[in-house]
Amino acid sequence: MLVLTRKTGQKIIIANEIEVTILETKGDSVKIGIEAPKQITIYREEIFEEIKKSNRLATQEAETARLNKAIEAVNLIKTSPPTKEG
């Protein structure tokens, strides 16, 4: 992790396209401004964690639905009357 000390009004440039500006410091809080290309999404950590949690839950639900369909298909095969060959 890179650790930098900045004062109000100073900036940090990331990858020539993201600009982080220290806008204000007050007690334990720091207000920052971020300028980045539109295709780059920026989230607060707690929001990003909620998104990841939601995505994991959706994936688990989709996997459960697929497994339930597979079980139903196997049960249908087991309970279907045998076919006559020949």
38-70 pLDDT, tens digit per residue, is 999 999 999 999 999 999 999 998 899 889 888
> Which of the two residues, 33 and 68, has the higher pLDDT score?
33
- DSSP-derived secondary structure letter, 40: S
* Number of C-beta neighbours around residue 22 at 10 A: 18
- pTM above threshold 0.75: no
**Average pLDDT over all residues of the chain:** 91
Paired strand residues for 26: 29
Q: Tell me what percent of the residues of the chain surpass a pLDDT of 70.
A: 95
- Residue 78's pLDDT band (boundaries 50, 70, 90)? confident
**What is the pLDDT, as a whole number, of residue 85?**
66
